[in-house]
Amino acid sequence: KEALREAKHIARILGERFGAKEVILYGSLSQERYFDMASDIDIVAKGLGDQYLKAYGYCLRLSEFNLDIRAYEDLPDQYKNQVNKQGRCLYAKK
C-alpha cells in the first residue's frame, strides 16, 4: 500500500510539475500480489519531452523506493502494447 501511495504521488509530480499528459503504472506493483521489497516502481510517462531526465532525477531523490520511469514515446511498439493492455493509469491531464 505504501508503494502504491508513492507511485500515485510520483505520478502527480510528473503531471503537475513536469507536464506529463498521462502517467501509467505497470509491472509488479500494478499487479499488487507480485510486489515485494526487492521490486521497483515501474512507471511510463507520456508527454514529458525534454523534461524527462530532469523529472526522473527529481523523482529518484524523493522516493523511498527504487523507480524505473520510462518515456512512453521512446518505448518499442511491442512494449507500448503491453503497457496499454496491462498498465494502470495513475494520472491523466484533464
Contacts of 28 (CB under 8 A, 6+ apart): 34, 35, 36, 39, 42
Q: What pLDDT is attached to residue 1?
A: 82
User: Are 80 and 24 spatial neighbours (Cβ–Cβ below 8 Å)?
Assistant: no
Contacts of 17 (CB under 8 A, 6+ apart): 55, 58
Cell numbers at residue 46, please? 507520456
Range of the domain at 51: 2-92
Cell numbers at residue 91, please? 494520472
Give the residue-averaged pLDDT of 13-38: 84
Distance of CA 58 to the CA centre of its chain: 13
33 pLDDT higher than 80: no
**pTM, entire model:** 0.89
71-92 pLDDT per residue, tens: 999 999 999 999 999 899 999 9
Q: What pLDDT is attached to residue 89?
A: 95
The CATH number assigned to the domain holding 81 equals: 3.30.460.10
Report H helices in 1-94: 2-16, 52-62, 77-86
Cell numbers at residue 27, please? 509491472
Cell numbers at residue 1, please? 500500500
Q: What pLDDT is attached to residue 72?
A: 97
18-28 pLDDT per residue, tens: 999 999 999 87
In one-letter notation, the amino acid at residue 83 is V
